[in-house]
Amino acid sequence: MVKRWAVVLLLCPLSACMVFEPSGPPGDADPAVFETPEERIQPARDQSAAVAVKEAAVDRAVVQGVKKTSEPVAAPGMTPGKETGKAPDTVAESTLGPGVQQHSRSGQLFVGGKDPADRLCEEVGSRLGSVSIQECRRQGLRHSAYTILNRSLAYKDYPPLATRQPLGRVLLIGGIHGDEFSSVSVVFKWMEILNRHHSGMFYWRFIPASNPDGLLKSKAQRQNHNGVDLNRNFPSRDWETDAHAHWLEVAHQNPRRDPGPAQASEPETRWLVEQIEAFQPDVIISVHAPHHLVDYDGPPEAPDKLGRLRLHRLGVYPGSLGNYAGIDLDLPVVTVELQSAGIMPTVQEIDQMWRDLIGWLRRQLTEVPRTAASEESPLTP
C-alpha cells in the first residue's frame, strides 16, 4: 500500500492527489451559500476537424487515466470494495404482503428479490474507492428503469420544503460516460452535502450513475453495453442528418464516439429524456471529465467559473445533451468537466465547485438578496 500511494503522488500534483478523503463540510459550518448567470454567448454547432483532434487527445488522456486507476484508488486505511456492514435497508415482507418489500430510506415498494437500487449500490460501492456501499445506500436512491444488463437507473429527489417556495428545479446528472469515475463520485459527495444542508432553495433531482453498465464493465468504458456513446445518442434535431456523417467524417468512426443506430436508441438515453420531460428542470448540470473546464449551452448566461474550472465553450455535437437540451429545448446546460477521470478533486475543491454552482444557480433563476445565499452551503462565506 505504501508503494502504491508513493506512485500516485508522483503521477499527479498535490492538489489533486487527496484522492478519496471523506467529503463534506466542517461540523460547525454555517449553512450558507450551498443551495446558490454570467456571460451570454450562443454556442455554435461546432463540428470542426480541430475539435475532433482535441476529442482524440482527451480520449487518450481518459484511457491512460483509467489504466492508472483501473483499481480505483482508496484513501489510506480504506479498502476499495469493502462493505462496512449493514444489511439492506428493507422492511420485512410479512408486514407488507407476500413478496413485497419496502426500502426504509426511499420508501419505494418492490416485489421479489432485492431492491434494484440496492444492488446497484453494492456494485458501485465495490467499484469506486471513493464511494462505499453504505454511502450509496444512505442516499435512498429510487429505482426507475433498467439498463441493457438489468442494472438500475435510479435517482434521488430533494423536494420542496413546506416552509419555502423553491427558486427552480435542477437536474444533476453524473456518469454518462462510464470510464469517468470521478463524475460519479463527485455527485455522491454533493448529495452528502445536501443530505445535511438542503434548505428548499431548489428542487433537486440527482442521477449519480446514468451509465452503470459502462461504469461497471470489467474494464470501464465510455459507452454503454451496446457500445453507444450516450452523449451522441440524444434526439437532437440534427441527429438524423448529421450524427453519422459527423462520426464518419470528423470522428473517423472512433468507437468511443459511436452515436448508435438511431436517435435515442439506448434505454439509458430514453430514460434520461423521460426524466427531462417528467421533471421539467429549469437547469441541467452534467458532470464529466477530464477537460478541466466549464462548458455551457443554452440561455441566458454561463457561469464563468466553478472552483478552479473556468468557462470554455467546446461547442455541441449531433446527439449531445447540450445540443438536445441546451439548443433544442432552450434549457441552460452546465457541463462540469473535472480535471481527471480517475482521481478525485480535493475536498476543498469539491466544496468550492458546489459553492460556486449554488451562487450561479441563485443568480440564474432569480436575483435573490445576498443574505438568502446561505441556505445550501456547508461552508462559511
Check residue 327 and give its pLDDT: 95
Check residue 101 and give its pLDDT: 53
Query: pLDDT for 334-370, tens place per residue?
Result: 999 999 999 999 999 999 999 999 999 999 997 544 4
CB contact set of 120 (below 8 Å; sequence gap of 6+): 136, 141, 143, 151, 152, 154, 209, 212
Of 356, 245, 234, 344, the C-alpha closest to 304 is: 356
Classified as helix, coil or strand, 17 is coil
Check residue 287 and give its pLDDT: 98
CA dihedral sign of residues 84, 89, 93, 99: negative
Check residue 57 and give its pLDDT: 54
- Which residues of the chain register pLDDT less than 50? 1-51, 53-54, 62-100, 104, 106, 109-111, 368-375, 379-381
Pairing of strands 283-288, 333-337: parallel
Check residue 205 and give its pLDDT: 98
* Inter-axis angle of helices 347-365 and 181-197, nearest 10: 70
Check residue 378 and give its pLDDT: 55
Cell numbers at 72, concatenated:
480505483
Return d(Cα 190, Cα 206) in angstroms, integer.
9
Amino acid making up residue 13: P
Calculate the average pLDDT of the chain. Answer: 77
Check residue 102 and give its pLDDT: 55
Domains of the chain: 26-76+87-374 (3.40.630.10)
